[in-house]
Amino acid sequence: MTDPLDKATSTAPATLGEGCLSRYDPDALTPENGTDFEGAAELWHQLQQLAEDHPKGS
């Protein structure tokens, strides 16, 4: 990569499917794509607990 402008561009990871079924290919994702989130399960649990404690409309 000798052209400095090449560094300023980004490309989307490979995808699977088409249209509304299009999604990123899990095999093509790396930590550089921001796919490594060790706290995801804990965050999901906290958000679910919060939703149960404060249901919509109450």
Q: Is the pLDDT of residue 41 over 80?
A: yes
- Does 35 reside within a domain? yes
Count up the domains in the chain and report the number: 1
* Helix (H) or strand (E) run with residue 24 in it: strand 23-24
Is 42 part of any domain? yes
Which three-class secondary structure state does DSSP give residue 15?
strand
Residue 24 in any domain: the answer is: yes
Q: Does any domain span residue 36? A: yes
Distance CA(56)–CA(48), nearest Å, equals: 13
Separation CA 4–CA 22 (nearest Å): 32
Assess if residue 25 is contained within a domain: yes
Whether residue 2 is contained in a domain is answered as no
In a domain, 47, yes or no: yes
Query: Is 21 among the domain residues?
Result: yes
Range of the domain at 26: 9-53
Beta-carbon contacts of 34 under 8 Å, excluding residues fewer than 6 positions away, are none
pLDDT tens for 18-39 read: 999 999 998 988 877 876 778 8
